[in-house]
Structure formats: structure tokens, C-alpha cells
Homo-oligomer: A and B are copies of this chain.
Amino acid sequence: MDARTQWDAGRSEEWADVTPDAARRLLTAAVQAFAERGYHATTTRDIAGRAGMSPAALYIHYRTKEELLYRISGIGHRLALGIVSRARDGGGDPAGRLSAAVQDFVRWHAEHHTTARVVQYELGALGEEHHAEIVALRRETDAAVRSIVEDGVAAGEFDVPDVRGTTRAVLSLCIDVARWFREDGKHTPGEVGELYADLALRMVGYAHK
């Protein structure tokens, strides 16, 4: 599988649990519309049209535009949390686990950069309760990576004066990949992931290799 095929496969996988088919088509149409024009500039009519459906058909599956954003955000954030949790629980030394977390988190933001941009940049458009629920998922994601960093410090492998700030910086570096990554760029998601895993180990003062 080349990088491009992998990316396409990854993209469809992402929404595999959304059923029925019409609900999934609407969700992927919403991701595209939000990414291109922004949440506030998109109407439910635009989304229905992109999915080849009527506005009335959309309301069978989603009561509001905000519900679509909330579903997208929830799926994206749960995937992100799953990625870093698997790395945290994966066994091996802290350096290997941090490296796996960063590689996989970067790959996700590169391969799914359209979804990731919506997930990361449209948080402010969520309703209050939905926003609180998503923020809780973000805190869990932070905490999962932070626990790897703490393990490394405790083991004497990492040297980190500010664990909280450094963990946030590592995640921030990964998240920003969604802003600049292009499929036609020089590097594959995997190559960016490898470089960033090395940079993350440097950020935590891992005494090398």
C-alpha cells in the first residue's frame, strides 16, 4: 500500500461506526463543508446538498448543525484518545511509548488533516454541554501523554523541568500538523511521525540512543 492509498483507507475507516449509510454520508459531507468554509458559513442545506440529500432528510439524522459538529468532534477526540491510550498502555520503556504516541498522533493529524482541522479549530462553536464533554476528552488525552512523561522522569530517563507545559507542547506540535500537512508535500505522514517522535524525545531530555 503506498502512502496515498493508506491515507484514503484511513479516511473511510474513521466513520465506519456511523450508521445508517445516510447518516455517515451526511457526516463526511459536513466535515468537508466545515473544513472548506468554516462552521458558521456552512448551512444544513449545504451539507444535505453535498450528500445528495434534501434538507428534510438531514433532519431525520441530525437535529441541528451543531449536532453534526458534536458528532464529528466526538469521533475525532475519541480516536485521538484511543491512539495515545494504546501507546501509554503498550508496554516497553517510557521512551518507546512516548515515541509510539507521537508517531501515531502525528500520523492521525496528517492522514486525517481535514477532519483534524474541524476537530481542533471549531471547538468554540460547540454548545456548552457538548463543549464540556469534549474538553473532558482532551484532558484525558493530555493526561495519557503526561503519564508517559512522568514515568520517564520517575525512571530517570527523561529530564523535564515542567512536565505539564512540556506535555502540552509535544501535543501542540502534533496537532499543528493538521494545519500545514498536504498530501502532495515532500513527506509522508509516517516520515513526519518519525521526525516528530525524535523531536519529542529531545524535548523531554531523553538521554540517547
Interface size range of chain A in the complex: 20 to 34
State which residues 1-58 of A face B: CB under 8 Å.
37-41
Query: What's the dominant secondary structure at chain A's contact region?
Result: helix
Q: Is A86 an interface residue (CB 8 A)?
A: no
Of all chain B residues, the one with the shortest Cβ separation from A121 is B121
User: Which chain B residue has the least Cβ–Cβ distance from A172?
Assistant: B176
Q: Which residues of B contact A165 (CB under 8 A)?
A: 187, 192, 195
Q: A74: CB under 8 A from chain B?
A: no
Which of A77-85, A87-95, A146-154, A198-206 is near enough to bind chain B? A198-206
Interface: A166 (CB within 8 A): yes
Asked if A188 is an interface residue, CB under 8 A from chain B, the answer is: no
A162 at interface, CB cutoff 8 A: yes
In the assembled complex, how far is the CB of residue A47 from the closest CB belonging to chain B, in whole angstroms? 14
8 Å CB contact of A41 from B38, B166, B177, B192: B38
Q: Which residues of B are found within 8 Å of A177, using beta-carbon distances?
A: 172
A37 contact set on B, CB distance < 8 A: 38, 40-41
Closest B residue to A165 by CB, please name it. Answer: B195
Near B by CB (< 8 A), chain A positions 110-124 give: 120-121
Question: Lowest 3 CB-CB distances: which A-B pairs, in order?
Answer: A38-B38, A40-B41, A41-B41
Question: Please, which residues of chain B bring their CB within 8 A of the CB of A198?
Answer: 161
Determine if A70 is an interface residue (Cβ-Cβ < 8 Å).
Answer: no
Report the minimum CB–CB distance from A166 to chain B (whole Å): 7
Closest-by-CB residue of B relative to A200 is B203
Nearest CB of B to A73, in Å: 15
Provide the residues of chain B in CB contact with A203, threshold 8 Å: 199, 202-203
Nearest CB to that of A187 among chain B residues?
A: B165
Question: How many angstroms from the CA of A110 to the CA of B45 in the assembled complex?
Answer: 37
Distance between Cα atoms of A204 and B162 in the complex (Å): 19
